[in-house]
Amino acid sequence: MEPWNEIARKTLKEGDGSQKIQRRQTLGGGVVRGGIVQRCPHQRPARPSLAALGQNALPQHHTRPGTGRVMTPRPSMCHTSSLQTPSDKAQALQISGSDLLSLARSLLQAWVDPLVVLSDSAYTLPHPAHNSISNKIQELQEHSKILGDGLDVLSSKMGPEAQTLSLLPYTGNDIGQDRISKLINFHFLMSCFRRDSHKIDSFLKVLRCRAAKMQPEMC
């Protein structure tokens, strides 16, 4: 079984991926009122691409963790797993806007370096579609940058609480030497990235809906 082929094929599913990548747009300025940003939220992108990129890409794993033939890294080993994030709706709605923004920015910041690693290794990935993958990674980097800049502007208007960043350094500098390790590690990083992008998407949408009280179409 070649799960990697499957992953790549689904990863490059243009219909979902490209459109969503483009939705990562810059945030405009906003008015801070009571710690909540007004007026901007409608410009906030969903974090589509990253989340959707991997959504269909990762097949269901049927191997028991730790017992399969291949040592599949567990998601708890993502470098961002130490960040405390809400795990359900109730928790998420209790968090303040500033904290939500802070979380989003931290996550985004945490992926700057890993994306570089991914970008470098995608080109040499032992996969037939490594070129497309490489392109996609570059798109992801660009959009991440844009989104990060926008969030920085937003946080500067929200007050000091929003400015706090949690550092989540990425220590891995290599995805492996042999083919299998490369593919596995690549896949693992992509799945971590997908989850984190999904988190950022959700946090920002909650923030947006909260800020646009008079505009139900924002929710």
Partner 1 sequence: MRGHNMTVCARMRRDLGLALLLLLSAAVESDGMSPPGKPVFLGCRSPEKETFTCWWEPGSGGGLPTTHRLYYEREKLEGTHECPDYHSAGKNSCFFDKDHTSIWVDYYLTVVASNALGNATSGHFKMDVMEIVKPNAPENVTLQVMKREDNPYLHVRWEHPHNTDTKSGWVTIKYELRVKHRNNNEWKEYTSGTQTQFNLYNINPGEMYVVQVRCRLDHGSWSEWSNSTSVKTFNYPQNDKPFWILVSALSTVPFLTAMCILVIKRKYVKKVLLPPVPGPKIRGIDVQLLKRGRSEDVSNALIINQGFPSVPAWKDEIEDYLIVSDDVLLPDPHRKKKSLTVAAGFHLNLEIQCKESLGQRDWEKAEERKNGIDTFPPQLPTQKQLCPNVTFVHAEATDQRWPIHDAAAESTVQLLAPTGYVDIQRHKSMQEEADGNEMDYTRVNDGNILILQKDKFPGCMDVQRQEENIPEDYSRVKEVDGDNKVLLQRQSFSADSSCGEKGTPYTDCTNKKPINPHVPGPSKVELIGSGYVDTIY
Tokens matching residue 70: 């291949």
Q: Which is nearer to partner 1, 53 or 137 (CB)?
A: 53
Q: How far is the CB of 51 from partner 1 (least distance, A)?
A: 6
Round to the nearest angstrom and report the end-to-end CA distance of the chain. 42
Helix (H, G, I), strand (E, B) or coil at 215: coil
Q: How far is the CB of 19 from partner 1 (least distance, A)?
A: 10
Could you give phi then psi for residue 36, rounded to 5 degrees? -110, 140
Q: How far is the CB of 41 from partner 1 (least distance, A)?
A: 9
Q: Which is nearer to partner 1, 62 or 69 (CB)?
A: 62
Strand ranges inside 2-111, DSSP E? 31-33, 36-38
CA 31 from chain center: how many Å?
26
Torsion sign, CA atoms 107, 152, 148, 36: positive
Q: Which residues pair with 58 in a beta bridge?
A: none
Q: Which is nearer to partner 1, 57 or 125 (CB)?
A: 57
Three-state SS annotation for 113-128: HHHHHHHHHHHCCCCC
Q: How far is the CB of 40 from partner 1 (least distance, A)?
A: 14
Q: How far is the CB of 20 from partner 1 (least distance, A)?
A: 6
Q: How far is the CB of 194 from partner 1 (least distance, A)?
A: 9
Tokens matching residue 203: 């946090």
Q: Which is nearer to partner 1, 103 or 129 (CB)?
A: 103
Give the residues lining the site for partner 1 (CB under 8 A). 16, 20, 46, 48, 51-52, 55, 58, 60-65, 74-76, 85, 87-90, 92-93, 195, 198-199, 201-202, 205-210, 216-219
Dist CA 96 CA 117 (whole Å): 33
Q: Which is nearer to partner 1, 143 or 199 (CB)?
A: 199
Q: Which is nearer to partner 1, 127 or 205 (CB)?
A: 205
Could you give phi then psi for residue 31, rounded to 5 degrees? -100, 130
